[in-house]
Amino acid sequence: MNSTKKLVISALLLALALVLPFLTGQIPEVGNMLLPMHLPVLLAGFVVGGPSAMAVGAVAPLLRSIIWGMPPLFPKAIGMAFELAAYGLVSGTVYSMSRKDSKSVFAALIAAMIAGRIVWGVVTFALYGIMGNTFTIAVFMAEAFFNAVPGIIVQLILIPALVAALKKAKVIG
């Protein structure tokens, strides 16, 4: 994929990451369950590759916070920026080193989801420490996994389907 096409697709996926959360009606509890901003970033890894997807992931929550005030910049958007950057980098890198079959899509997706949540936990732990608050393993598990089950299910269904459709349309290899 040439650099201009990669830049345009990255910008399109960034725009999608900015507007998809409006589907949850700006209700943080719904957004925390469905994780709409994660979808374009994870997809970016498969379409434009790890480095470009990492940029999309790092910018999306920060830009959304600056423009619309959601998520709040500190600590939420900053933690999400690291998390989504990891999603993009890991999904793109793992997929690029694979056979690019359906099993590879799931492997890259699951690796990205786990890595991103770990990165989010470490960064959030540090940010909470700066604020003088505690971030326990119970809070991490609740926020990263238990509360996010609907979004995780959506990601595991929608991303492989979108990747298959894009492969069929010859948008990605």
Region 78-100: mean pLDDT is 97
Number of domains in the chain: 1
d(CA 165, CA 105): 12
Q: What is the rounded CA–CA span in Å between residue 1 and residue 81?
A: 25
Residue 173 within a domain: no
Closest CA to 53 of 109, 104, 101: 109
Rounded CA-CA distance 4/57 in Å is 19
> How confident is the prediction for the chain on average, in pLDDT?
95
Residue 153's CATH number: 1.10.1760.20
> What would the pLDDT profile of 24-57 be if each residue is shown by its tens digit?
876 778 878 899 999 999 999 999 999 999 999 9
Is 99 part of a structural domain of the chain?
yes
pLDDT cut 70: percent of the chain above it: 99
Q: What is the DSSP string of the chain?
A: --HHHHHHHHHHHHHHHHHGGGGGTT-HHHHHHH-TTHHHHHHHHHHH-HHHHHHHHHHHHHHHHHHH--S-IIIIIHHHHHHHHHHHHHHHHHHHTS--SHHHHHHHHHHHHHHHHHHHHHHHHHHHHHHT----HHHHHIIIIITTHHHHHHHHHHHHHHHHHHHHTTS--
43 within some domain? yes
Domain hosting residue 69, numbered range: 3-168
Across 92-108, average pLDDT: 96
Residue 137 has pLDDT above 90, yes or no: yes
- Residues 49-88 have pLDDT tens digits of 999 999 999 999 999 999 999 999 999 999 999 999 999 9
